[in-house]
Structure 1
């Protein structure tokens, strides 16, 4: 290799580096700007959710207490803010990598960025289900109090809501979608069968009382209606009073003074 060839190689390397330098600067600028913007958006969103009392409302539910025991410093507001941070930063990251003109990395980041909204929706489903289960528990406790059936419903209804939410989350995250659908159908069928058996066997006497009570009320209502359609007996008139039309009837019957003997056809007296 001659000195001329070495000089040409160095010149080509320098040209390649200086041609790539604008792309590298664009990558760094987009990366820094994206990080700053994503951090600001995430903090604003987290503060808004904290001001709305999201963490406090979740802490009042059984699901929130379970999460608190599992992760003592967990916060739904900060968690949603973190996901939004990566979602916003991901857009800038894809744009920055595109500036480097590395196709394989750009395709990979596009796939990751397309999956991030599923995570956001899954978190929102979990939060909404937790709030709904807490509201259902309070409503049942306020309505039915400490009754045995109230305690059962206050446990079963929130659990059923969270189970349905878990299946929705797995479906949203695209985790074994066929298996999730089969498991969901089997779970709903088992719950329906259990309720049918419980009502058919354990609640048979209660159902009988309900039907008998409804039958008695319907029968009594029909009897009252029939009694109301019968003609009432004539009322007794008070002494000295005459019903309307009595005087006219008496006038029509009485024709005047007594007739004479000739008019009666008795003939002259002998």
Structure 2
């Protein structure tokens, strides 16, 4: 009976010592949620007023809005920062380190998004100008230039999030080689009859 009483006393003491940390963690979570929500709304309003969605997508219906995307990223950066502080208050170092890694990833993610968005804007502008020029095969040239600029933007952005760009370079080489082989076969088949006729005339 005495041992059971001692166990209860120890549990009570531990809970009483832990309670201030728990309350502190809950307060941090509440403050983080409030600040994150406010920052997210501010970022969304700034991007919306800059009219980046209209500038990039114009008459096209986008899969997502940049204002929403940046709002989510900045909001969650604040949330994670305060969640990390809450876990640190509770004395859970493993989760603190995991959240530190996520926070370290966010600046690179933002940089990568900005690079890809800028690349998309340039690609759209170049495509429009080439199509307006009415040069021979303008639509084909415009599409090739569009995807080439997008590729350069993506290849430039990938290292920002810790991905080696050599993978996408390899994919591009395979695609170009496949396209070249397909064109060569198509041209060869198309010229087969012409070559046969020329040979027949020459050796006739």
The TM-score, its normalising length taken from structure 1, stands at 0.59
- Residues 1:187 and 2:172 aligned together: yes
Whether the 8 Å CA contact 1:87–1:117 is kept in 2: the answer is: no
Change (3 A) 1:136 1:106: same
Of structures 1 and 2, the larger Rg is shown by: 1
Query: Residue in 2 aligned with 1:28?
Result: 26
Q: Is contact 1:34–1:89 with CA below 8 Å preserved after alignment?
A: yes
Rounded to whole Å, the distance in 1 between the matches of 2:94 and 2:76 is: 21
Aligned to 1:43: 41
Aligned runs of 1:1-270 on 2, under 5 Å?
2=1, 4-60=2-58, 65=60, 68=62, 71=63, 74-142=64-132, 144=133, 146-175=134-163, 177=164, 180-181=165-166, 183-184=168-169, 187=172
Asked which structure has the greater RCO (Cα within 8 Å, sep 6+), the reply is 2
Q: Which runs of 4+ in 1 moved over 4 A?
A: 188-191
Q: Deviations over 1:156-209 (max 9, x none)?
A: 21111111222233333224x2xx315426737986xx7xxxxxxxxxxxxxxx
Count of residue correspondences: 182
The alpha-carbon deviation at position 9 of structure 1 amounts to 1.2
Structure with greater proportional helix content: 2
Runs of at least 5 residues in structure 2 that lack an aligned partner in the other structure: 181-204
Question: Could you tell me how far apart the structure 1 residues matched to 2:119 and 2:20 are?
Answer: 49
Paired residue for 1:253? Answer: none
Q: Who is 1:262 aligned against?
A: none
The CA RMSD measured in Å over matched residues stands at 2.8
TM-score with structure 2 length normalisation?
0.77
